[in-house]
Amino acid sequence: MSSTKTISTLIVEDSALMRILLSDILKSDPDIELIGTAKNGKEGVEKARLLQPDVIISDMIMPDYDGVYLVENIMKEIPTPVILLSSLEKNDGLVFDALQKGAFDFLDKPKDDITNSIKAKDYPLTALVKVAAESKIKKIEVKENKNSHAFHGTAAYAAIVIGASTGGPGAIENLLKQLPNNLILPVIIAQHMPDSFIHSFAKRLDELTELMVKVAESGEEIRPGYIYLAPGHSNMRLRKNPHTGGVVVHFTDKVYTEFNNPSIDCLMESAAEVYGDRMIGLILTGMGKDGTEGLKKVKAKGGVTIAQDKDTSVVYGMPKSAFDAGATDILVPLNQMGGYLVSCL
């Protein structure tokens, strides 16, 4: 960020202690300015209307008017990037409602005793505020596909492997809505997200689509028509079962440079080894470069490589990195992604 223009922020949080803690985090960065605080979603909307902040940081659970209320009304009146803070212990799926209504991203709430780690800049709030300030608010309308598709014989590909980060939960929901309910190959997803949220996300997706959605487990065999989410406790790899010829899930402690638990590169590279030219690799919206090396491997093995286009990405970071590296065959808008994937089959 240029030092001439600071990012104005608004904190919406019912706990006075947490407001102080968050204020200290934001004030530790000279590029960020705190211009106001509010105690619940309703007051947050009123303050946002008055102060016009660049970015809003909001608690998820608040009395009377929560984070979902705030996001819904902010997006209607004054579209502004909203970063949600949600305690892992209190995660009840509401955060995904807010993301679907247009929230930018979410973080696990800082603990009251992390003052030392804040000084060490371990907590990623300021970095996320800067990315949010540069992003565009996106509300992508997709045509929901409730129909079966006439698949003739064997599909041309054996698996679709997807990587996503910031903006990914909403993008994945939208993409799954576009897929036919009788998809005949597996979809395997690595979404950057804390482990306990991944289980809630899988449950939400399972209710959204007629396809079976689950968190992948060590040793299980990948089955057609299932959607698997990589868990967040380690990095997920795929390998061939020498006895059955099937593809099996296992986990590794290997550390990946761009992102860990779950690493998109880890999943993509192993999938490329297993499926060769019979896989489709797809990178959706997200910060950073995770997935670029993995997509390169998919391309080298003869698989199809796709990235979400700039106009529909919440953060055009990972797709841009893959595109700039020559790892993608094509950039596709999110609202056309389902149709494109089916056409490949």
For the chain, where are the alpha helices, taking DSSP H only? 16-27, 41-51, 67-77, 94-100, 115-119, 125-134, 168-178, 195-208, 264-275, 292-300, 318-324, 334-344
Task: Note down pLDDT in tens along the chain; length 345 residues.
Answer: 444 689 999 999 999 999 999 999 999 999 999 999 999 999 999 999 999 999 999 999 998 899 999 999 999 999 999 999 987 655 567 888 899 899 999 988 887 655 555 454 678 899 999 999 998 776 666 666 666 555 555 678 999 999 999 999 999 999 999 999 889 899 999 999 988 889 999 999 999 998 999 999 999 999 999 999 999 999 999 999 888 889 999 999 999 999 999 999 999 999 999 999 999 999 999 999 999 999 999 999 999 999 999 999 999 999 999 999 999 999 999 999 999 998 888
Query: Catalytic site residue 234?
Result: no
Report the chain's C-alpha Rg in angstroms.
Answer: 20
Query: Catalytic site residue 28?
Result: no
Query: Which residue out of 59, 66, 105, 192 is catalytically annotated?
Result: 192
Query: Which residue out of 58, 86, 135, 165 is catalytically annotated?
Result: 165
Rounded to an integer, what distance in angstroms lies between the CA atom of residue 275 and that of residue 271?
6
pTM score of the predicted model: 0.89
Name, in order, each residue with C-beta under 8 angstroms of 85's C-beta and a sequence gap of 6 or more.
13, 22, 57, 58, 59, 60, 106, 107, 108, 109, 110
Tokens linked to 261: 């638990």
Query: Catalytic site residue 165?
Result: yes
Query: Which residue out of 14, 290, 309, 321 is catalytically annotated?
Result: 290
Which pLDDT score is estimated for 145? Answer: 64
